[in-house]
Amino acid sequence: MTERFSLVGQVVLVTGGSRGIGAAIARAAAESGAVVAVGYREDADAAASVIASIRETGKVAAAFRADVSNSAEANQLVAAVEDSFGKIDGLVNNAGIMPSSPLIETSDEEWDAVLRTDLFGPFYCSRAALPGMVQRGSGSIVMISSRLGQIGWPELAHYSASKAGLLGLTKSMAREFGPQGIRVNAVAPGFTITDMTRDIVDTESGRRRLAELPARRFPEPENVASAVLFLLSDAASMFHGQTLNPNGGGFMQ
């Protein structure tokens, strides 16, 4: 049974893989046997640390710099991974940014930056990776959406809109490419404890959020990674256009 969850022989590209949820996904994919490509935009040291931790376990991994909000760089990222490892079996579109602004104070530049990274980036990377997947007749693409794309959130209209857009993109791609052997699904985490959010946990807002969760604990990056690994694996062969919600019960479908 465990072989169905194995990623041995597969190449997995994780965008935004140098920290937080992306780093947990990259490490978990390597632990499951995949060759891992870690995409990052700015923090080369953090990406190198993730790569080193994977290589210490005897697995194969490499880092690739790209700004996925730029279509040319997204194309180059996919091409570089394919040149290095021969193929891409799994693509995890995780890269994203989340500035906060009241809607009427949100500048055009900030709106564009969020949508280009959080929605256009996954489109660019998927479009670049799909030809190889179509040629082989197999592949799995996982979009990292968010609970906020399902419920909306004040002062995060751009982020919520982009993450909601990912869910529509997921379903459209699943219908278009499922008949060609490619599965496209999404994972929508709730508030997850990372370096960026850890300080919120002990605030009034954090305690209020925690009290609303049936699980009575916040998800960790590894909880999100488990959902992603399932969707990447053969165990999810009948999952097309679906969204998994590792959110502790913060949003129920």
Active centre residues (catalytic):
159
Contact 190, 248 (CB under 8 A): yes
Ranges of beta strands (E only) in the chain are 11-14, 35-40, 61-65, 90-93, 139-144, 182-187, 243-244
189 CB neighbour count, 10 Å cutoff? 24
Instruction: Return the exposure string of 10-34: e unless at least 16 CB atoms fall within 10 Å of the residue's CB, then b.
Output: bbbbbbbbbbbbbbbbbbbbbebeb
The encoded tokens of residue 17 equal: 């893989």
CA 253/CA 245 separation, integer angstroms? 9
Of 21, 27, 4, the closest CA to residue 12 belongs to 27
Say what angle helices 121-136 and 71-85 make with each other, to 10 degrees: 40
Cα angle, residue 208 at apex, residues 247 and 228 outer, rounded to 5°:
15
Cβ-based burial of 131 (10 A; exposed 0-12, middle 13-18, buried ≥19)? exposed
Contact 119, 169 (CB under 8 A): yes
